[in-house]
Structures are given as structure tokens and as C-alpha cells.
């Protein structure tokens, strides 16, 4: 069945780089697009970026200078890297897939705290 699972460090120090992995199963990264969405505690959802099925990427303009999304199709993994982290980057980070239907399957999310 379709599954997405985010993984990564729960705690990151300010100014450091966040690295997250989204491991998928039940579908191919060369057929579906994978988006990243984050949610600060008690706040709303923010779209971050997308890895298109053809390997191209698009980013939220507000995060573009700090954000990089890549993938390893052989491992069914999509990676998110975000640099220069600040406390306001504390959030739950989700990956979700899209084809004809937007964000139909989501991972459980991974909580990341930015703190020294």
C-alpha cells in the first residue's frame, strides 16, 4: 500500500542545516510528485517545495535561498535540506504525494526543534 515516512533529527542547533528524508513505498518517484509541507506548533500549514516526477524542483520563494530538494529513485527517497535554521523553523515537516489528485497521501510528519 501507499506509504510515506519522514525521518531526521529531532533537534537542530540554530544556524545549522536540517536534513530530512522521505521514504516512500507503494508507488514510484518517477511517476508521482512529492511535496514538502511544514507546520509550526499551533499554527497553519506552509507549502515548502516539490520534487517533480521528472526530477525537477520548485520552491516556495520565501525559502528558496535556503532550501534544496533532491532524490534517490533507487532507494525511493526524497531529501530536504534547509540551511541557516532559526527558531522559527521549528515545525512538524511532512512529505506528501501528488499526481492528478493533490496531496492525497501524507507521511506521519517529523517534529524538528531548532534550539541550542
Residues that bind other proteins (CB under 8 A): 35, 37, 44-47, 50, 94, 96, 101-104, 106-109
> Cell 527517497 maps to which residue?
77
Residue among 11 and 62 whose Cβ is closer to other proteins:
62
If we measure between CA atoms, which residue out of 80, 93, 100 comes closest to residue 18?
A: 80
Residue among 68 and 111 whose Cβ is closer to other proteins:
111
Residue among 16 and 39 whose Cβ is closer to other proteins:
39
Left, alpha or beta for 42 (phi > 0: left; psi -120 to 50: alpha)? left
The minimum distance between CB 14 and other proteins, in angstroms, equals 26
Amino acid at each position: 500500500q501507499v506509504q510515506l515516512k519522514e525521518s531526521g533529527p529531532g533537534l537542530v542547533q540554530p544556524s545549522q542545516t536540517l536534513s530530512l528524508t522521505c521514504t516512500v513505498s507503494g508507488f514510484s518517484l518517477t511517476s508521482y510528485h512529492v511535496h514538502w509541507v511544514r507546520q509550526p506548533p499551533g499554527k497553519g500549514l506552509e507549502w515548502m517545495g516539490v520534487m517533480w516526477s521528472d526530477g525537477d524542483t520548485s520552491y516556495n520563494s520565501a525559502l528558496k535561498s535556503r532550501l534544496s530538494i533532491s532524490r534517490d529513485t533507487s532507494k525511493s527517497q526524497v531529501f530536504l535540506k534547509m540551511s541557516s535554521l532559526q527558531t522559527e523553523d521549528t515545525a512538524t515537516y511532512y512529505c506528501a504525494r501528488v499526481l492528478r489528485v493533490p496531496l492525497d497521501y501524507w507521511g506521519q510528519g517529523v517534529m524538528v526543534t531548532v534550539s541550542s
